[in-house]
Amino acid sequence: MNKYTVDRFEGNLVILLKKGDESIQKELSKEYFPDELQEGDIVRKYTKNGNFRYEVLAEETKNRKTTADNLLEKIKRKNNTEEGD
């Protein structure tokens, strides 16, 4: 199952980067996504009644954001410690 990260929005398009190989990019209409979609969300494609849509993987998105926030805090603390030297 391919997963993608929402990189950005350009007008009515959602720009996706393939998780694990961010050099692969997709551009799709917002109509295939839930209204609450945000940059940084992790999504996957699913098919229902012959139609495809993308769903947000909320738990995976939350975990990724927590990891990123923790890393940013660690970098900030390190920089503050180095400035005090």
Q: What is the mean pLDDT of each run of 10 residues along the chain (85 residues)?
A: 94 96 95 96 94 96 93 89 69
b/e per residue 28-52 (b: at least 16 CB within 10 A): beeeebeeebeeebbbebeeeeeee
| C-alpha closest to that of 26 among 34, 14, 42 | 14
pLDDT of residue 84: 65
Task: Enumerate the domain spans of the chain.
Answer: 3-84
- Cα angle 69-74-66, degrees, rounded to a multiple of 5: 20
* CATH code of domain 3-84: 2.40.50
The whole-number pLDDT of residue 51 equals: 92
